[in-house]
Amino acid sequence: MTTTEPDRSELERQFEDTIGRDQRIEPRDWMPDGYRSTLVRQIAQHAHSEIIGMQPEANWITRAPSLRRKAILLAKVQDEAGHGLYLYSATESLGADRSELTGKLISGKQKYSSIFNYPTLTFADVGVIGWLVDGAAICNQVPLCRCSYGPYARAMIRICKEESFHQRQGYELLMTMMHGTQGQRRMVQEATDRWWWPSLMMFGPPDADSPNTAQSMAWKIKRHTNDELRQRFVDMTVPQAEALGVTLPDPHLRWNAERGRYDFGEIDWTEFTAVIKGNGPCNAQRVAQRRRAHEEGSWVREAAAAHAEKQRALRQVRPGEGAA
Amino acid sequence: MSGQAGDRGDASGAQWPLYEVFVRSKRGLNHVHVGSLRAADERMALHHARDVYTRRNEGVSIWVVAAADITASSPDEKDPFFAPSGDKVYRHPTFYDIPDDVPHM
């Protein structure tokens, strides 16, 4: 079928119209290069975060205090792997190459969320990650379910459904510990102290230092600014902390009746920048572990490809066999 | 695909082929596209699809199709491919005026 090639301004107008009508952009639609590259970068970074995010908690699977906790943790870490895969699938719909993205992750060319560069020192950290880290992730991700790019939005819907289990298991774990011994309660408080500020940093730099936000919001990739989402998270979390009986480590945290929201203290952005730059407590370890898993798995990938090739050749010799 | 294995990708440079995954969530419903994955062959694609897309009883049946085998229409919303159905209003029941008091119509 031959059709006249629409010119670029017409394509741009159609793209803007689709966004304006709050409809989704789908993989084979025309899109501006900047829209495509912004999405690939954001989704890849998100996928990497899910994959690296398996590590801090996976360390506790063999040391979980009961079979129940072990099964839960195993299922949660498996979910993180699944989330990474949904997201890599979305990047491929934009023309990205999955193995190239893995290459960029293990060579340090692409980033992942700074939060996963912190260590999990006790089992209470597992609970606090579910409560605060997954809680912050949900806050960030729920609006992404309405992202203008269809495959990303659909992946986020699946992810958000599963994250809800992650957050609840974490909170339940912490409640159990808070009903335990004095020592267990102290562990929960210490883990909360360690994770609170890094969790607030998960929303990214303050709006004034986030130059890409305006364009991302115009494209409806992002629906809220970093500071709006951070405030929403604080407002949601304070009553949860009270119900749990822990203190959030911020002397400036207080209810502001005038705003109808909580005021909170200044975030240490120098720490955030340092961790992003690779100087967090676990950056090197996380990337090295991912690289090792990738390299040590290469013989499995090669063997599977060789086996598939052999089976294909056999089917050509004996057609009809093996067909389902 | 670029064919490039990435900075430290696989030595062979080859990547497993891409499969699109369709899941029937329960009896009585169609298979629906849920995403894609990479696998060495169809059998592995089915196993991976089960692990990636149906960890919580989301499906009773899965189809995997090599992405390279899919033929698709053009994505353009004003594609003349769909023009034949655009002007045939008489294909819809609301096109016909029937008095209100005629039952069961």
Q: Is the pLDDT of residue A34 over 90?
A: yes
Q: What does the block give as tokens for A181?
A: 């011994």
Chain A residue nearest residue B81, CA to CA: A1
Q: How many domains does chain A have?
A: 1
Which has the minimum average pLDDT: A42-56, A272-286, B9-23? B9-23
A226-243 average pLDDT score: 97
pLDDT band at A32 (very low <50, low <70, confident <90, very high): very high
pLDDT tens per residue across span B25-54:
999 999 999 999 999 999 999 999 999 999
pLDDT at B11: 43
pLDDT tens per residue across span A212-226:
899 999 999 999 999
Check if B98 contacts A (Cβ < 8 Å). no
pLDDT band at B3 (very low <50, low <70, confident <90, very high): very low
Check if B80 contacts A (Cβ < 8 Å). yes
pLDDT tens per residue across span A97-141:
999 999 999 999 999 999 999 999 999 999 999 999 999 999 999
Nearest to A100 among B6, B75, B80 (CB): B6
pLDDT band at B105 (very low <50, low <70, confident <90, very high): confident
CA dihedral sign, ordered B58, B63, B64, B69 = negative
Residues A9, A168: Cα–Cα separation, whole Å: 49
A240-247 average pLDDT score: 98
Residue of A76, A80, A98, A110 to mutate when probing chain B, most B C-beta within 10 A: A98
Check if B32 contacts A (Cβ < 8 Å). no
Q: Is A26 in contact with B55 (Cβ distance < 8 A)?
A: no
A229-237 average pLDDT score: 98
pLDDT band at A324 (very low <50, low <70, confident <90, very high): very low
* Residue A264 placed within a domain: yes
pLDDT at B7: 38
Chain A residue nearest residue B2, CA to CA: A97
Q: Is the pLDDT of residue A85 over 90?
A: yes
Chain B residue nearest residue A101, CA to CA: B6
Query: b vs e for A260-278, b when ≥16 Cβ sit within 10 Å of the residue's Cβ?
Result: eebebeebeeeebeebbee
Nearest to B7 among A14, A85, A103 (CB): A103
Chain A residue nearest residue B35, CA to CA: A89
Shortest Cα–Cα distance, B3 to chain A (Å): 8
Chain A residue nearest residue B20, CA to CA: A89
* Residue A322 placed within a domain: no
pLDDT tens per residue across span A144-201:
999 999 999 999 999 999 998 999 999 999 999 999 999 999 999 999 999 999 999 9
pLDDT at A204: 94
Q: What is the CATH number of the domain that holds A312?
A: 1.20.1260.10
* Residue A321 placed within a domain: no
Share of chain A above pLDDT 70, in %: 96
Q: Is the pLDDT of residue A75 over 60?
A: yes
Nearest to B6 among A27, A89, A99 (CB): A99
ipTM: 0.86
pLDDT band at B77 (very low <50, low <70, confident <90, very high): low
Nearest to A106 among B2, B8, B56 (CB): B8
Nearest to B40 among A28, A82, A304 (CB): A304
pLDDT at A283: 95
Structural domains present in chain B = 18-87 (3.10.20.520)
When the pLDDT of each residue in chain A is averaged and rounded to a whole number, the result is 94
Check if B40 contacts A (Cβ < 8 Å). yes
Shortest Cα–Cα distance, B94 to chain A (Å): 27
Contacts of B81 in chain A (CB under 8 A): 1
pLDDT at B12: 46
Alpha-helical regions (H) of chain A: 8-20, 33-52, 54-58, 67-92, 98-106, 123-128, 134-141, 150-178, 182-201, 213-218, 226-244, 269-274, 283-296, 298-317
A73-85 average pLDDT score: 96
Residue of B4, B10, B54 to mutate when probing chain A, most A C-beta within 10 A: B10
Closest among A316, A243, A294, A309 to A107, alpha carbons compared: A294
Higher-confidence residue: A163 or B82?
Answer: A163
pLDDT at B9: 40
When the pLDDT of each residue in chain B is averaged and rounded to a whole number, the result is 84
Q: Is the pLDDT of residue B13 over 70?
A: no
Contacts of A295 in chain B (CB under 8 A): 8
Nearest to B1 among A97, A304, A307 (CB): A97
Check if B51 contacts A (Cβ < 8 Å). yes
Q: Are B18 and B67 a contacting pair, CB within 8 Å?
A: yes
* Residue A185 placed within a domain: yes
Shortest Cα–Cα distance, B60 to chain A (Å): 18
Alpha-helical regions (H) of chain B: 42-53, 83-86
Q: Is B5 in contact with A3 (Cβ distance < 8 A)?
A: no
Chain A residue nearest residue B72, CA to CA: A28
Size of interface A-B (CB pairs under 8 A): 95
Q: How many Cβ atoms sit within 10 Å of the Cβ of residue A166?
A: 25
pLDDT band at A3 (very low <50, low <70, confident <90, very high): low
Check if B16 contacts A (Cβ < 8 Å). yes
- Kind of pairing between the strands at A261-263 and A254-256: antiparallel
Chain B residue nearest residue A106, CA to CA: B8
pLDDT at A178: 98
Residues B4, A92: Cα–Cα separation, whole Å: 14
* Residue A243 placed within a domain: yes
Q: Is the pLDDT of residue B2 over 50?
A: no
Domain hosting residue A119, numbered range: 9-316
A75-90 average pLDDT score: 96
Q: Is B16 in contact with A82 (Cβ distance < 8 A)?
A: no
